[in-house]
Amino acid sequence: MKNKTKNILTALAFCVVSGGLLAFNAYAVPNIATLTQTKPVSLQSFAASAAQEKPVAITLASSKVPVLNVEGKAPVSTVNDELERTMTAEEMQQIYNYIDNSKEVTESRKMSDQEVNRRKALEDRYVYDGIRPQNKLPLKPGASSFYFDMSKDIWIYPDRELTDEELLQFVDWSYRVVFAQSKRLQKQQLDAKDIGKEEAMAKARESVSKLFDADISKMEASAAFNKFGPEQKGEWLVHFQPYKVRTLEANGSAFMMYDVMIDALSGTVIDTTIFNSAYKRTPITSVMNKQIRQDPSWIEAAKAIVVKKQGDTRPIQKSTIIQDQAYDQRGVVAVSIEMKGGSSYTVELRYPEKTLRCLIYEPAASGK
């Protein structure tokens, strides 16, 4: 299956650390406070595991899906600057000691849906409006009925709804943990011939626009550069999401997000994916699978995306539907399109709509 890039893209949808900016989307917070339970060596590895726990549903963009209207200047987060200025060496070391010795984090009870939604909305206010808790989160038993017992790796919640102050303490601690952990990450440097951040973001915007007919001019954009594999190949990961996306989710509003992966050396877009919070997938049964394989319209739809949307006019050598139970379970029909010259596309289409979920590009092998 030519989707080796998907875990990386999913990770980006959860957590982006770029240029010192910490940016979390609506799906990250439930696990951020327990970031340390797997003793991560990087935020990307945490994000990937979180993505596997809660898959995100996806579909084609639509102008009817609401995106938060941002008038005037776009919201700006000051969280990173504030933590950089105010977190002491002692506090950082306390977090590192905890991370290095933590085993498995538990909770005295589950947060209610109402508490989770209130927390999401408060997090947006924390990030963009500068709302802060009056006191820091208690880290051991004491006078408070809400605290995180660091010595036992357990969150203690009272037998009542958490207050706004307590939820803000939860959020504040989460950001402090991730900030401290980000300081352990070694920033990877671009090679001399790699494209820069602005060029990568421009290519990502162009890809999203032509594949999904989406206006992302009022969306929050994040970009992160990483090197992967034994060859340390540089790749840009670009993520677009609405501002204050956590509030949209808390209110039950549908929203879109987009992830784009770009080869830093060639500047080639190798994966463009759309996420839709409201999409309901339809798993493909064995009967449906047989019908799909006998229906040429799936391959024709995939070809149309490559030729008309992507704009690739090279001759198509071969087109086949990829057989994989993982696709069936996700409600996706994946079509392999092999081009003259040795490069290929994997076009993932949602069942039954035939709408594009993602387009993955595989350049021709060296020497072809």
Each of the 368 residues of the chain gets a pLDDT tens digit; together they read 444 444 433 333 334 333 333 444 333 433 434 443 333 323 332 233 233 333 333 233 333 334 445 555 788 898 999 999 999 999 999 999 999 998 899 999 999 999 999 999 999 999 999 999 999 999 999 989 999 999 999 999 999 999 999 999 999 999 999 999 999 988 889 999 999 999 999 999 999 999 999 999 999 999 999 998 888 899 999 999 999 999 999 999 999 999 999 999 999 999 999 999 999 999 999 999 999 999 999 999 999 999 999 999 999 999 999 999 999 999 999 999 999 999 999 999 999 999 999 999 999 987 55
Q: What are the residues whose beta carbons fall under 8 Å from the beta carbon of 238, sequence distance 6 or more?
A: 12, 200, 201, 204, 221, 222, 223, 259, 260, 261, 262
Which pLDDT value is given to residue 74?
80
Which pLDDT value is given to residue 191?
92
Cα–Cα distance, 127 to 191 (Å, whole number): 33
Q: Which SS3 state, helix, strand or coil, does residue 51 take?
A: helix
Using an 8 Å Cβ cutoff, are 9 and 55 in contact?
Answer: no
**Residue in the block written with tokens 């706004």:** 164
The two tokens of residue 195 are 């494209």
Which pLDDT value is given to residue 260?
98
Which pLDDT value is given to residue 67?
46
Of 119, 61, 55, nearest in space to 326 by CA: 55
The two tokens of residue 114 are 């109402």
Using an 8 Å Cβ cutoff, are 4 and 270 in contact?
Answer: no
Which pLDDT value is given to residue 367?
58
Beta strands in 136-189 (DSSP E): 147-149, 154-156
Which pLDDT value is given to residue 197?
97
